[in-house]
């Protein structure tokens, strides 16, 4: 029997709910969590380079705007986005959103990258759709690029023969204090 999609079949087939990025409801898989959080960080940094350059060229008003924009993006927008993504990630392994406060604990927050999600439906909704190959590739490539960039930015880590310049000798021209 030929099973073609008719209007009647399409109406009875339940559509998967579309995931909303800025909603605390639903679940978020590991690869999407890594890609979204690191992608947002890289995106903000890439935006701030040209914006900062242009704003700093405009003088003192530009410096003020650059500072305000930096504070807004790095201390308001990104933490807000990371908290939302982490709440949805905690929902994926059937934990409440309060577990997202572990995001504030250094190193422990990487646990959200490695804890597998609950298979099937849980208390927070249906299992997220499987990640595509592209999403998985981004979730692997972004951390590698960020770690590589971090390591490459420290010249002494690349070339151990590079040493810090000798410290300046303290001046001896001062006389001791005698009350």
For 122-175, what is each residue's pLDDT tens digit? 877 787 788 888 888 888 888 888 888 888 876 655 555 656 666 667 666 777
CB 37 within 8 A of CB 80: no
Please, which residues bridge with residue 125 across strands?
122
163 falls within a domain: no
What element of type H or E holds 39? helix 30-57
Q: How far apart are CA 89 and CA 32, in angstroms?
A: 9
State how many domains the chain has: 1
Q: What is the pLDDT of residue 18?
A: 56
Who's near 30: CB < 8 A, 6+ residues apart? 89, 92, 113, 114, 115, 116, 117, 139
On the question of pLDDT at 100 being above 80, the answer is yes
26 falls within a domain: yes
Closest of 65, 70, 38 to residue 137, by C-alpha: 38
Closest of 48, 103, 36 to residue 74, by C-alpha: 48
On the question of pLDDT at 25 being above 70, the answer is yes
129 falls within a domain: yes
91 falls within a domain: yes
Closest of 149, 119, 175, 125 to residue 41, by C-alpha: 149
Residue 129, helix vs strand vs coil: coil
45 falls within a domain: yes
77 falls within a domain: yes
51 falls within a domain: yes
On the question of pLDDT at 118 being above 50, the answer is yes
Where in the sequence is the domain holding 104, given as residue range(s)? 22-151
> What confidence tier does 13 reach under pLDDT thresholds 50, 70, 90?
very low
> What confidence tier does 96 reach under pLDDT thresholds 50, 70, 90?
confident
On the question of pLDDT at 92 being above 60, the answer is yes
CB-side neighbour CA atoms (13 Å) of 20: 4
Q: Is the pTM of this model over 0.85?
A: no
Q: How many Cβ atoms from other residues are within 10 Å of residue 11's Cβ?
A: 8
Tens digit of pLDDT for each residue in 26-84? 888 888 888 999 899 999 999 998 988 888 888 888 888 888 999 999 999 999 999 99
156 falls within a domain: no
CB 30 within 8 A of CB 40: no
Q: How far apart are CA 111 and CA 127, in angstroms?
A: 20
């Amino acid at each position: 029997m030929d099973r073609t999609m008719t209007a009647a079949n399409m109406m009875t087939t339940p559509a998967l709910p579309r995931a909303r990025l800025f909603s605390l409801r639903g679940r978020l898989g590991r690869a999407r969590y890594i890609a979204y959080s690191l992608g947002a960080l890289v995106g903000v940094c890439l935006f701030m380079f040209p914006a900062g350059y242009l704003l700093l060229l405009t003088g003192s008003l530009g410096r003020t705007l650059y500072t305000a924009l930096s504070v807004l993006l790095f201390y308001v927008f990104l933490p807000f986005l990371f908290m939302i993504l982490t709440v949805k990630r905690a929902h994926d392994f059937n934990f409440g959103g309060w577990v997202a406060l572990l995001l504030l604990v250094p190193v422990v927050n990487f646990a959200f990258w490695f804890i597998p999600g609950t298979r099937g439906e849980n208390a927070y909704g249906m299992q997220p759709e499987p990640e595509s190959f592209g999403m998985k590739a981004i979730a692997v490539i972004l951390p590698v690029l960020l770690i590589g960039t971090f390591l490459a930015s420290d010249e002494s880590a690349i070339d151990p023969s590079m040493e810090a310049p000798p410290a300046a000798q303290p001046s001896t021209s001062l006389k001791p204090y005698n009350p």
